[in-house]
Amino acid sequence: MNPDKLPRRHLLQGLLAVGAASCAKADPPPAPAADPPQPAGDAWSRFRAEFELSPAWIHMTGFLLVSHPRAVREAIEGWRRKLDENPAYAVEEHGHGTHAQEAAATYMGARAEEIALTDSTTMGLGTLYTGLPLAAGDEVLTSTHDHMSTHAALLYATERAGAKLVKVPMYGRPFEATAAGMVDAIAKGITPATRVVAITWVHSATGVKTPVKGIAEAVAKANQGRAPKDRVILCVDGVHGFGVDDVTMGDLGCDFFVAGCHKWIFGPRGTGVIWGKADLWPLLKPSIPSFSAELGGWWMGKSGESMPKTTANMMSPGGFHSFEHRWALPAAFELHQRLGKAKVAARIHALNRQCKEGLKKMKHVTLHTPVDDAISAGIICFESEGMKPKEIVERLREKKIIASTSPYVTTYARVAPSLLTSEAEVEATLRAIHDLG
């Protein structure tokens, strides 16, 4: 169809009712330019060269906000050109993210219709927790270690419903955390009034990785004999394991999973996902109108008077987003698939073991993150005797090393070896931390 002669009604439906499920399959991203000559060095060095990170610095904060790899940059630019040339037509033709849902589903071992699209982990948590089927007297169980985004979103949801928010510690000293101890802490916190367990896969406050599968089994045990309306729903903030560990949603066993894609996944900035089991999406109530086919059909008078049952698409917040970023998200998932999820996990864990084992040997350093891969991932928290975490970060920055502090009541210095750091850079970071003593 000629975009210059789009009927007004046709265009209106395209802009308001076209959604992740209503569009035809979105076209793949525009073809990238030919591969540039590969630099010398091993495979991980060549991968690092795909990013425009300044080589003058050692980047130990890749878990905060991503630098776009070449494939993602080129996909964003291709979609941006299409939007600039004919924005309304581009949105009608390519919808609000079908291709992104499909790519995410392939990576996550899920189905596209189980995935909602958001702009961040925080947006996803707010969207999910505000939509929970809570009532007065219900309890929501979370941990004392979770991020403000989880605690605040749960507080909003429980206060609105007249429910109770319960926080329990999953461990004392993080270095001494155990999988069995964390599962036991959550299991003991579940009461007959518990309707939701909300946990985080990897705590950014301590670097501890929680045993999601074990907790899912504890929740399943608690659900035995409960009526469907009283079942406990397990929700996970998964952002700091997403793109690190080689697992699928089936492996984790949770009911809902929320993550931003602009951290370990290397996705476009301002992208995120919510995955949920297909039979549980109807339990939720949307808080932000979507541009899904279901809601569009209801608004156009095609679905009767009653609001349709909630689907993942209906939990994707509507409105106009940074579409060039959302449509470019498949490039990030495809990049991980080409690298190989198992190889990515092995690389990140190897670099983190190298760093933790080095820190553990330093007398002036207190390592708070467990060394064991089973209960840690890509974030390392530590202290240096006689120094505040902020001072540590400032001293490292003087040596061109970017570290961070954890923004919690109890705060530590953090480094995060990733696919964008090398063994030599880990050693340089260890030497700099050694010199702090």
Number of helices (H) and strands (E), helices first, in the chain?
15, 13
CATH topology of domain 98-337: Aspartate Aminotransferase; domain 2 (3.40.640)
Is a pLDDT exceeding 50 seen at residue 37?
no
Looking at residue 422, what is its pLDDT?
96
Q: 308-361, pLDDT tens digit by residue?
A: 788 898 898 888 889 999 999 999 999 999 999 999 999 999 999 999 999 999
φ, ψ of residue 118 to 5 degrees: the values are -135, -175
Element (H, E) at 416: none
pLDDT tops 60 at residue 21: no
What residue ranges do the domains of the chain occupy? 98-337, 341-435
Q: What was the pLDDT predicted at 303?
A: 58
Pull the structure tokens for residue 74: 């080129």
**DSSP β-ladder status, 58-59 and 401-402:** parallel
What confidence tier does 16 reach under pLDDT thresholds 50, 70, 90?
very low
How much is the mean pLDDT over the chain?
Answer: 89
Asked if residue 3 has pLDDT above 90, the reply is: no
| Residue 30 CB coordination number (10 Å) | 17
What confidence tier does 12 reach under pLDDT thresholds 50, 70, 90? very low
Q: What is the pLDDT of residue 97?
A: 74
For 369-426, the pLDDT digits (tens) are 999 999 999 999 999 999 999 999 999 999 999 999 988 889 999 999 999 999 999 9
Torsion of CA 244, 245, 247, 251, to 10 degrees: -130
* pLDDT > 90 fraction of the chain, expressed in percent and rounded: 78
Confidence tier at 292 by pLDDT (50, 70, 90)? confident
pLDDT band with cut points at 50, 70 and 90 for residue 106: very high
Residue 192 has pLDDT above 50, yes or no: yes
Res. 288 pLDDT band, cuts 50 70 90: confident
Q: Measured between alpha carbons, how far is residue 435 from residues 12, 356, 392, 399 in Å?
A: 63, 16, 11, 11
The mean per-residue pLDDT over the stretch 196-215 comes to 98
- Tell me yes or no: is domain 341-435 CATH 3.90.1150.10: yes
What is the percentage of the chain residues whose pLDDT exceeds 70?
87
pTM: 0.89
**Which residue did the predictor score with more confidence, 301 or 360?**
360
Report the run of H or E that residue 86 belongs to, with start and end. Answer: none
